[in-house]
């Protein structure tokens, strides 16, 4: 059952958070053996927290709009009550002294943490064993593999993920659920193991846009920042009566990673939006848009340069002190990063600022930008967690991104990705909700 | 021996880093029992690192301008090879998996880490047992107590400290050494236990301005940021031929915390600068300067509001889960912080931006701002680490601050504090060097 409906019942007293939690525990008991979404579970603690939530609703005193929501926490995010292993043997049985800031915020809002969800090695290296709920032969996508698979299989309502290049938008797309990567700086990273301080984002994977926003908003309120200040007064989405957005398709060279069938399904979705009255512009209609898309083609490799350079800390120490425990991909990125000079790195920051200014200029004409959320459906096999190409533009620019499960190709989902302007996350989510409600 | 002289001898081959280190080890053996600057020492490791440095100079291949420099690391900064205890029993015997980013940078530059230096509880709570090298009955100041006392007693050349409100500038002033708190964002805080994400700064306490700059520069190069980008091409200070700066005295209500003798000594220093040809302006000469100083009077309490609010994470968890291990001051700040609304917090950020803009406007007329580095000499007793009033302006505004040991009152030192413009740290340090060389 969707949380929105459960919440109404909690308030009416027709269902308790404990009863709701038991539905998710039943799903865990049925599916976790196949999905392997959790690095660890704490069902007994979750039951205690759900009982406390039940008691709060009885007293008509829920802590927030997420009180009683069963969630998962990606295992590179610190929890004091459960181990935090980063998907790496270097942190086997690691126990931080405090919950990460976002975890503390969610607990303060009454969320019920069912367990830690599996992550690829430090959210950038070796894949994990989690399978795709739509097809156990396929990857759920990385790096927030367990959160996406857990939501898609109904074992949690939502969960925390992180995205450095594609780690929320891609698994959300592969698993057919909502992924929301906020503007850089909107959600706090304290207590989250870093990959790249210039690219890391905390975000949410959820059953629905409303649930994603409710979780993110609960965290923002806990930690006001310059970036999230305009969002704090906006606790819900309420897309009703929201005008249809003007959107522009970001067509990049990355589209060649999609099959004809996948591209056709994406185009069909755009055409259906057009038929519903949405203004969907293409690169052939606007030279500046086309030029901007051309600039995006360089972004995946520039982004990897920045990430590799950022990874010098602490990964060069892991490579040196724990060489066998550290995967080949991380060894390679650290090596690449050590060759990048400070001058080069600063020129990349500058380039990013220029691209952002161009996006701002285009934003006078378009309310949002659209593109596939991944380079097609989830690939076969568990070792390759998929291409990051189409999700990296939003990560590099630090702009809000959302993946909507609106396309199916064969038996597999493919997300439609919307990108917005910095700190205009609420606007983007409202556009997304309006578009998701169209035929 | 000052590091500048030692460095020349390392290069000439007339002294080795190992021989130099032994001078500091001798000082430790003589003084540490009284000073108690170190939370832990690792003399054998330091010897090995000094021998490696010796070998590099022999091969004429030092790693950087700080190769062979014996330093200390404040114990709220992560080290993988030594425990990191944050001045708190909550972290007794705590062993992080990686060195903090700044520690990794300094090791990469060849610095020789002699040990971890004592900090007050989480750099904000209960005082530590370190004594002032000038008078064992007096506090060395907090929170970077061990680093300041270690430098002042010749047990290390320099060390890392952190400042949230006054924790570098104040102990440097009390111990008669150079303290440098960079512009916010210039030095990375990854692997440093947080107090307040809006106020925390990593910085340096050192024998001299040149040593302070060399250490800070080594860290900047490792981690380029928007804030330190203009500083990276400037590896040394070179004040020779530097014009005399035009400076303005920031006279605030905080001056009433100083005794008449202390104020007189500060005024005398200003007069001597005037006699040397420095333009030293006072509030009575410029209405806008006076108005700005008036605004500063509110800063200590606004700053504490922001810090207390920031401390919600992770300190509310420490207060709840480790109540006995957490000191009263921290309990009080967390309680204060929980009452501060998001709106109030965001209004404080806005207020800070406005004050910064006013400082920028004044900076067309003045090259630097000057005030005492602390509210007088180190107080008697070890429990009170002193007032933060005069050091908090620079912390709140995130502007560079330096404390120069240029005043003596009785047998005790008092620092002269210079403040500059954001990301103009090199300029400020050159002004400081020029001023320190005057009579």
**B81: DSSP letter:** S
Of A143-157, A225-239, B128-142, least confident by mean pLDDT is: A225-239
Report yes or no: A122 at the B interface, CB cutoff 8 Å: no
Q: Does A229 touch chain B (CB under 8 A)?
A: yes
Residue range B47-71: mean pLDDT, rounded: 98
User: Which of B250, B240, B247, B264 lies closest to B294 in space, CA to CA?
Assistant: B250
Give catalytic status of residue A74 as yes or no. yes
Mutate to test the interface with B, among A95, A97, A330 (most CBs of B within 10 A): A97
Just give the CATH number of A1-286+358-439.
3.90.1300.10
Q: Mean pLDDT over residues A428-437, rounded?
A: 96
Taken in order A235, A237, A238, A243, the sign of the CA dihedral is positive
Question: Is A167 designated active site?
Answer: yes
Distances (CA, A) of A136 to A262, A382, A383, A409, B133: 20, 9, 13, 16, 67
> What mean pLDDT comes out for the span A56-80?
98
- Structure confidence at residue A110 (pLDDT): 98
Distance, first Cα to last Cα, chain B: 22
pLDDT given at position B439: 77
| pLDDT, tens digit, 9 for 90 and up, residues A297-324 | 999 999 999 999 999 999 999 999 999 9
Provide the Cα torsion A4, A9, A11, A15; round to 10°: -130
CA distance B86 to B88: 5
Confidence (pLDDT) at A148: 98
The rounded mean pLDDT for chain A is 97
What would the pLDDT profile of B136-195 be if each residue is shown by its tens digit?
999 999 999 999 999 999 999 999 999 999 999 999 999 999 999 999 999 999 999 999
ipTM above 0.85, yes or no: yes
Q: Please state, in angstroms and rounded to a whole number, the distance separating the CA atoms of residues B37 and B202.
A: 19
User: What is the CATH topology of the domain spanning B3-231?
Assistant: Amidase signature (AS) enzymes (3.90.1300)
Q: What percent of chain A is modeled with pLDDT above 90? A: 98
Yes or no, beta carbons of A224 and B97 under 8 Å apart = no
- A291 contact B CB<8A: no
- The pLDDT value recorded for residue A241 is 75
Chain A touched by B188 (CB under 8 Å): yes
State the average pLDDT over residues B277-285: 95
Instruction: Say if residues B81 and A321 touch (Cβ distance below 8 Å).
Output: no
- Contact flag B91-A97 (C-beta cutoff 8 Å): yes
Question: Can A363 be counted among the known catalytic residues?
Answer: no
**pLDDT band of B241, cuts 50, 70, 90:** confident
Restricting to B residues 61-100, those with a Cβ less than 8 Å away from any Cβ of A are 80, 90-91, 94, 97-99
Catalytic residue among A53, A88, A143, A153: A143
Q: Which residue in this structure is represented by tokens 């990897």?
A: A304
Can you give the residue ranges of every domain in chain B?
A: 3-231
Q: How many helices (H) and strands (E) does chain A have?
A: 15, 11
Taking the C-alpha atoms of residue B129 and residue B134, their distance in angstroms, rounded to an integer, is 15
Question: What percent of chain B lies above the pLDDT cut of 70?
Answer: 100
Residues of chain B found within 8 Å of residue A91, distances taken between Cβ atoms: 97
Average pLDDT over residues B41-59: 98
Average pLDDT rounded to a whole number, residues B381-402: 97
pLDDT tens-place string over residues A388-400: 999 999 999 999 9
Q: Do B349 and A97 touch (CB under 8 A)?
A: no
Flag whether pLDDT at B239 surpasses 70: no
So what's the pLDDT on residue A242? 81
Using CA coordinates, name the residue in chain B closest to A188: B197
Residue contact A97–B80, C-beta within 8 A = no
Region B112-136 average pLDDT: 98
Residue to mutate among B63, B313, B320, B341, with most A CBs inside 10 A, is B313
Task: Kindly tell me if the per-residue pLDDT of A170 is higher than 70.
Answer: yes
Per-residue pLDDT of B197-212, as tens digits, reads 999 999 999 999 999 9
Query: Is residue A239 very low, low, confident or very high in pLDDT (cuts 50, 70, 90)?
Result: low
């Amino acid at each position: 059952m969707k949380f929105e409906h459960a919440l109404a019942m909690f308030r009416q007293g027709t269902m308790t958070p404990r009863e709701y939690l038991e539905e998710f525990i039943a799903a865990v008991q049925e599916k976790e053996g196949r999905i392997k979404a959790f690095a660890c579970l704490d069902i007994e603690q979750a039951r205690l927290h759900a009982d406390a939530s039940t008691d709060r609703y009885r007293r008509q005193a829920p802590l927030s709009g997420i009180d009683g929501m069963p969630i998962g926490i990606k295992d590179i995010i610190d929890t004091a009550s459960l181990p935090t292993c980063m998907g790496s043997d270097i942190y086997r049985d690691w126990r931080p002294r405090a919950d990460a800031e976002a975890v503390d915020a969610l607990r303060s809002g009454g969320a019920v943490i069912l367990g830690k969800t599996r992550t690829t090695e430090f959210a950038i290296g070796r894949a994990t064993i989690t399978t795709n709920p739509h097809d156990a032969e396929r990857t759920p996508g990385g790096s927030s593999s367990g959160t996406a698979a857990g939501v898609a299989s109904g074992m949690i309502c939502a969960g925390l993920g992180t995205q450095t290049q594609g780690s929320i938008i891609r698994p959300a797309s592969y698993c057919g659920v909502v992924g929301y990567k906020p503007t850089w700086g909107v959600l706090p990273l304290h207590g989250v193991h870093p990959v790249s301080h210039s690219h890391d984002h905390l975000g949410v994977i959820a059953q629905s846009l409303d649930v994603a926003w409710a979780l993110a908003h609960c965290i923002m309120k806990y930690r006001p920042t310059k970036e999230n200040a305009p969002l704090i007064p906006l606790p819900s989405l309420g897309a009703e009566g929201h005008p249809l957005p003007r959107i522009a398709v970001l067509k990049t060279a990355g589209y060649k990673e999609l099959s004809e069938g996948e591209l056709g399904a994406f185009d069909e979705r755009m055409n259906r939006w057009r038929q519903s009255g949405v203004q969907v512009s293409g690169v052939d209609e606007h030279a500046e848009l086309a030029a901007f898309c051309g600039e995006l083609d360089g972004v995946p490799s520039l982004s990897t340069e920045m990430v590799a350079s950022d990874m010098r800390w602490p990964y060069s120490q892991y490579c040196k002190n724990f060489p066998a425990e550290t995967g080949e991909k991380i060894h390679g990125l650290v090596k690449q990063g050590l060759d990048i000079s400070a001058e080069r790195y600063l020129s990349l920051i500058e380039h990013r600022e220029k691209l952002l200014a161009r996006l701002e200029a285009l934003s006078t004409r378009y309310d949002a930008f659209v593109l596939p959320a991944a380079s097609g459906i989830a690939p076969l096999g568990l070792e390759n967690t998929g291409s990051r190409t189409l999700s990296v533009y939003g990560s590099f620019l630090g702009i809000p991104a959302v993946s909507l499960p609106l396309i199916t190709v064969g038996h597999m989902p493919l997300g439609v990705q919307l990108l917005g302007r910095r700190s205009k996350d609420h606007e983007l989510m409202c556009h997304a909700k309006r578009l998701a409600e169209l035929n």
